[in-house]
Amino acid sequence: MLLEKGLAHNSLDSYTRDIGGFFHFMAANDIEWIDQVDTTAILAWLVHLKKEGLSARSRARHLIAVRGLFKFLIQEELIQADPIKHIDIPKIGFHLPSVMSLKEVETILSMPDVSIPREHRDAAMLEILYGAGLRVSELVAMKVEDINFDAGFVRVFGKGSRERIVPVGSQAGTVTLEWIRSSRPRMLKNIASRYLFVARAGKPMTRQGFWKAVKKYCLRGDIRRNVTPHSFRHTFATHLIEGGADLRSVQTMLGHSDIATTQIYTHVSKEHLLDMHKKYHPRG
């Protein structure tokens, strides 16, 4: 069932743990067969998770995993009734992502010293991160052959190993091509590596290593707000929508399977609309 969903390894591990915890609770309460689970048992399990200190977000994840299990069992005609069908997902609240201004982005992008090989690498990574809206895990996993400079796009393998093609700006392409031609060979020192962004001994740059680099350039540029690699992805999407991009295009570029996930950026962009209204409307 989980393999059919095409989930990444981390997601598979989480689903497996969540479902395993569910079975453990049922067994501890003398429910030995899956067709013995009813709505009351599901609610008791959710109360148990809350007493264990799990947040609404974590409880929602557990419930989604078990909901998927029962949906599969119904489809395979292994059970007749779905005890979880009418139980709502715990409300997890609405969290607006942190979005940088264009000035803040440009400041950070200008901080690396490209005469230093590792900072040249960081400059290219930052440009692609903002220019293509990648997840940091997608960025560090990129191979040299995943970027097409002539066509102006990058090939990305996202969650569940789903492949997508994302346009990348000319500035990101220029900085990255210069990195490949000059600084990357200096870092590799005759060591072969397929990875586009390398660290020591030809190994790929790590997520933690890049996170530290982002913090360093924020400090160097006197950016006070809390900026993470994921902030660039949020900013990429918001700036696109503010510039007039349609939601479906942004969904495709971000690799969201559900457009509802992308719609959060329309809420972020409302502040931009308010600013425009105040600035240009006679009664603003």
Of 98-102, 110-114, 191-195, the range with the lowest mean pLDDT is: 98-102
- Cβ atoms of 223 and 231 within 8 Å: the answer is no
Of 99, 209, 233, 266, which Cα lies nearest the Cα of 159? 233
- Judge if pTM exceeds 0.75: no
164 is catalytic: no
- A 10 A CB-CB count for 59 gives 19
- Using DSSP's 3-state secondary structure scheme, residue 39 falls into helix
Q: Which of 59, 121, 233, 239 is catalytic?
A: 233
Of 92-101, 170-179, 206-215, 239-248, the range with the lowest mean pLDDT is: 92-101
- Cβ atoms of 140 and 206 within 8 Å: the answer is yes
Residue 5, pLDDT score: 46
pLDDT level of residue 3 (50, 70, 90 thresholds): very low
Q: Which of 62, 121, 184, 256 is catalytic?
A: 256
135 is catalytic: yes
With a cut of 80, say whether residue 15 has pLDDT above it: no
The pair phi, psi for residue 94, each rounded to 5°, is -115, 115
Of 264, 61, 231, which Cα lies nearest the Cα of 133? 231
- Token pair listed for 226: 């809390």
- Using DSSP's 3-state secondary structure scheme, residue 93 falls into coil
Distance, in Å, from the CA atom of 39 to the CA atom of 42, rounded to the nearest integer, reads: 5
230 is catalytic: yes
In the chain, the domains with their CATH numbers are 9-75 (no CATH), 102-278 (1.10.443.10)
> What are the pLDDT digits (tens) for 101-150?
999 999 999 999 999 999 999 999 999 999 999 999 999 999 999 999 99
With a cut of 80, say whether residue 8 has pLDDT above it: no
Q: Which of 135, 184, 234, 239 is catalytic?
A: 135
265 is catalytic: yes
> What are the pLDDT digits (tens) for 211-254?
999 999 999 999 988 899 989 999 999 898 888 888 888 888 88
Q: Which of 50, 143, 159, 220 is catalytic?
A: 159
Q: Which of 48, 164, 230, 272 is catalytic?
A: 230
Q: How far apart are the first and last CA of the chain?
A: 54
